Structure 1
Amino acid sequence: MLLNITLHKNQAANYQPADLGFLLHKHPDKVQEFELSYGKAHVLYPELTEQFCTASLLVEVDPINLVRSFKGPASNRQLEQYVNDRPYVANSFLSVAIAKIFRSAMAGQCQNKPELAEAKLPFTIELAALPCRGGTELLEKLFKPLGYEITAEAIGLDDQFTEWGDSHYFKVKLTNQCRLADLLSHLYVLIPVLDKDKHYWINEEEIEKLLRKGGDWLKLHPEKFLIIRRYLNFRQRYTRLAINQLTTEVAANNTADNQEEKIEKPLSLNKQRIDQVLTTLVSLPVKKVLDIGCGDGKLLKQLFNSKQFTQATGLDVSSQALAIAENRLKLDRLPEHQQARVNLLHGSLLCRDARIKDFDAICCIEVVEHVDEDRLPALEKVLFDYAKAPYIIVTTPNSEYNQRFGLEPGQVRHPDHRFEWSRQQFTEWTRLIADKYHYNVTVSGLGEVDQELGQPTQMAVFTLHE
């Protein structure tokens, strides 16, 4: 499969076509080869003039090795696994190659010429054979709203038997003036949408990838629901989850989080919480830390910056929050050995998940109050019995302090809080948990001390009995 990216000269702009090498982080004078789990990829520059520069990504798929190493569900159509179009046409294999080989470019990173990474430049994309189950009409629905001009030539089923008509493959040229990062993001998402036949098993992680790589442009795309459905292979459950997150979660969370931040801002409580939890973790003999409900990754960033911690993992039910955390941590810009120190997981703290086991410490910062009280036993079971880390840190608001924020009795700081505990209620809960699951517990407060109402945040440190 072949992808050509051409940068054209714009006389009014201060750059040269050869700067495409800086943008892609691939030198025009070299032919580079990359190993992939399903074959090999090559990057080369077949044409370079004063007027334009073309970079080619050539991906070779080994279909026999691929089917022998495939660990997904078995297919009833055994022959199709060996005889298919996978090695020859632009499909999800190409998307994976784009994300891996042009990772820095997709992140908008260009160390030598950062101004070019942010500039809208004239590009042409050529795809030698692009599956398009939906024809040119679908091509236009997907690419025109993003500003592309489209030229598509249908490929006949057979040159000798023209009466057989055209196939669903097209030779496609796309032109646009945009950021290279946006262009690569468009291709990463939309190529599998056009093919509608992803080569790997679809699970909830694909929702996270779609929302993360789709970025802001997907939210504004008039065909976003079509894109989501086809990207997720029409899996109804995953489609509903993705649509709900895309259309409601971001606006609701931003409004609610802004409200809580505005209430607590005079005391900088969020920063105090992060600092105190980090100080506590540093004082403990822990190296692998899980932050449940990691949100936008503030604590993960601090853990990553400390040499004490060899593994910082964040889990959150919100794909959008994980995308923000990934951006905060700048994962795309880290070398591979540093990327291995940070991990982002999409999941719920109410479900048993093997990925949350075997950590030295688990943090649950301002999370429990977002859980319905009748579901707290499920959280407790997962956190203190299933995961059962040697150290568990829990923080939650002190409801008594709310009047210092000007809140009325019974009013909570965040509209998604299902409850907020007083100091006595929190202390009683921690003691019950400690007795039931064989932990010792120490309860303290965070923030400015009020002699009558205590401190705005409560913190419990659970230590597992030896």
Structure 2
Amino acid sequence: MNAFHDDWAGASEMSAEMPAWIRDVCARDTTDLHEERLAAVLGYLRSVGARSVLDLGCGEGSLLLRLAQESQINRIVGVDISNSSLACAQRALDNLPSQPAPQIELRCVSFMEANAEFVDFDAAVLLETIEHVDPQHLGRVEEAVFRSYRPRHVMVTTPNQDYNVLHGMHPDAMRHPDHRFEWGRARFRRWALGVASRHGYCVRFDDIGPFDAELGASTQSAMFQKLSS
């Protein structure tokens, strides 16, 4: 069952204006690197046995579509503040082949705020999301995700700024005009280790994409696991 909550203003009107078919760009980012990110996330969720998943900053639904086809997952909530992105995600989900599906909800709310409805999930994913948050608001994301929601597992992926030169970029340039920051590996690891220590999690790191011995990979990831109380 797929459902928008009432707090998603204007959803029905926006969906009615969209064409019956969904362009690929609405359903997924087709770059090889993004496919590798999606595969890494799905592999991680399978490895930890996640049955309920929060997709924080779900956008147009590239991860949601994959999650909807994972047989072990029975509940998915996609969260984003963009009405248009959620409309696209909903239309893509509606066009999945008819089959037994998990409960899927799309919510137009901020994941910088505490929300009792997001508590007690097996896993949360922030897939290429934190770099779209103003740095001064990262503390709010941390408090909401790791103190309020407290999922058993959290996976965060973000660009590795160290690798940008291998994309032919100026060292100070960013990959997307909406990125508020991009971190190299050392800065990302300091942040993630701090988050883990403040909230009772352990964390490990991995690389996604072609690997350079000096600069790492294009995407970096952190996988948090809640410690037993």
Gaps of 5+ in 2: 1-5, 20-24
1:211 aligned to 2:31? no
Alignment partner of 1:206: what SS? Answer: coil
Deviates more, 1:432-441 or 1:294-303: 294-303
Q: Which amino acid aligns with 1:361?
A: A
Aligned residues of 2:75 and 2:103 also touching (Cα < 8 A): yes
The structure richer in helix per residue is 1
1:33-432 aligned within 5 A: 204-215=7-18, 265=31, 268-330=32-94, 334=98, 338=101, 341-432=103-194
**Which SS does the other structure have where 2:71 is aligned?**
coil
- Aligned to 1:344, what secondary structure does the other structure show? strand
Structure 1: unaligned runs, 5 residues or longer? 1-202, 217-253
* TM-score scaled by length of structure 2: 0.88
Distance in 2 between the 1:324 and 1:410 partners? 32
Query: How many angstroms does 1:423 deviate by?
Result: 0.3
Q: Which has the larger radius of gyration?
A: 1
Match of 1:444 in 2: 206
Residue 366 of structure 1 contacts residue 397 of structure 1 at CA under 8 Å; is this kept in 2?
yes
Distance 1:303 1:424 in 2: 31
Change (3 A) 1:385 1:213: same
Distance (whole Å) between structure 2 residues aligned to residue 463 and residue 289 of structure 1: 14
Deviation at 1:209, TM superposition (A): 2.5
Between the aligned partners of 2:162 and 2:96, the Cα distance in structure 1 is: 43
In the alignment, the residues of structure 2 paired with residue 212 and residue 364 of structure 1 have an alpha-carbon distance, to the nearest angstrom, of 25
2: CA distance between counterparts of 1:285 and 1:448?
27
Contact 2:15 2:91 in 1 (8 A): no
- 2:11 is aligned with what amino acid? E
Deviation at 1:332, TM superposition (A): 8.6
Tell me the CA shift for residue 205 of structure 1: 2.1
Query: Relative contact order (alpha carbons < 8 A, sep ≥ 6): 1 or 2 greater?
Result: 2
Q: Calculate percent identity across the aligned residue pairs.
A: 33
Q: Tell me the secondary structure at the aligned position of residue 86 of structure 2.
A: helix
Superposition deviation, residue 464 in structure 1: 0.3
Q: How far apart are 1:327 and its partner, in Å?
A: 2.0
Segments of 4+ moved more than 4 angstroms: 331-335
Say if 1:354 and 1:214 are closer, same or farther in 2 by CA, change over 3 A.
Answer: farther
